[in-house]
Amino acid sequence: MARATLIGFSAVAMWALLALFTAASGDVPPFQLSAITFAIGTLVGLAARAAGAAPAAREPVPAVVWLIGIGGLFGYHFLYFTALRNAPAVEASLIAYLWPLLIVLGSALMPGERLAGHHVAGALLGLSGTALIVSGGAGFAFDARYALGYAAAFACAFVWAAYSLLSRRHAAVPTSVVTWFCAATSALSLACHLALEQTVWPATTGQWAAVVALGLLPVGAAFYVWDYGVKHGNIQVLGAASYAAPLLSTLVLIAAGAAEASTRIVTACLLITLGAVLAAKDLLLSAQRKPA
């Protein structure tokens, strides 16, 4: 379980690159960027299958799994883009980042899982750290004008939490099926792009490189390792540790010279780290008890 949890957490590390690569990709509209990057993500899955690293399903995949997978990947991105179009980005992002907390709380409904107080406390500490990063310490003020955007952001958080939790119920379905979830998400994103956006292609080689990097890592490999992690790892720890994504993203931006370090970032780092350690208490103690 510890190994699977670490594999799942590698998705969080890859999602930390999302902001940097997206900013470097130029002015490509969201749905067009989603269509391109998920197409690349599909190629990641096909390459893994060709290399024997991701064996295909031996039995037919149940229809409900297709609904969960495609609804999760496409539904999350559709709702997130809708939220950003209809509410301030900071507030929409903060609401959307309720999904790790929802995963931790929802895990109590999963067979074989037990939700303890330290799981909830760890997730709440992580949420506090995320709020500091996303809001810049300015807080959150509800404005009825952005109700649609707020609702879409909350629905987005709920969809990703549900996708992660329901995927665990179908742990017997191999991760290779994510290949086709990515392909369907790419096709649906293309349809939304053609209906809602004006096509804008990356203008430079650097922008194209950023788009390819997005498709290979945060919008590609990350979904495969996340699927494996939520199916076979400690889902409470993964949920709480997922709050590290905005922190790591900020640290990446600081290292790239696109953001500045501050006391707020240090405080957020401490809150998120403490939250992750608290949520992982059981896993850490069990590892210490193992004989050398």
When mean pLDDT is compared across 62-66, 111-115, 232-236, 282-286, the lowest value belongs to 282-286
pLDDT at 52 over 70: yes
Domain contains 256: yes
pTM for this structure? Answer: 0.88
Would you state the pLDDT for residue 138?
67
Would you state the pLDDT for residue 292?
42
Domain contains 260: yes
Domain contains 291: no
When mean pLDDT is compared across 38-42, 129-133, 175-179, the lowest value belongs to 129-133
Q: Which comes out higher in pLDDT, residue 54 or 103?
A: 103
d(CA 170, CA 49) in angstroms, rounded, equals 20
Would you state the pLDDT for residue 286?
60
What residue numbers bound the domain in which 266 lies? 2-285
Q: Give the percent of the chain with pLDDT over 90.
A: 52
Would you state the pLDDT for residue 152?
93
> What does the pLDDT look like over 142-177, one tens digit per residue?
678 888 998 998 999 999 999 999 999 999 999 999
Domain contains 292: no
pLDDT at 287 over 60: no
Domain contains 63: yes
> What does the pLDDT look like over 243-267, one tens digit per residue?
888 888 888 888 888 778 888 888 8
d(CA 103, CA 105) in angstroms, rounded, equals 6
**Helix %, strand %, coil % of the chain (to 5):** 75, 0, 25
At 164 the three-state DSSP class reads: helix
pLDDT at 291 over 60: no
19 confidence band (pLDDT: 50, 70, 90): confident
> What are the start-end ranges of the E strands in the chain?
none
Q: Which comes out higher in pLDDT, residue 37 or 141?
A: 37
Which whole number is the average pLDDT over 28-56? 94
d(CA 136, CA 130) in angstroms, rounded, equals 10
Domain count, the chain: 1
pLDDT at 290 over 60: no
pLDDT at 193 over 90: yes
Average pLDDT in the chain: 88
d(CA 88, CA 197) in angstroms, rounded, equals 20
Domain contains 290: no
Domain contains 11: yes
Would you state the pLDDT for residue 264?
82
Would you state the pLDDT for residue 135?
74
Which whole number is the average pLDDT over 183-207? 97
276 confidence band (pLDDT: 50, 70, 90): confident
d(CA 135, CA 264) in angstroms, rounded, equals 10
| Listed residue (161, 121, 51) closest to 279, CA to CA | 121
Residue bearing tokens 């119920």: 169
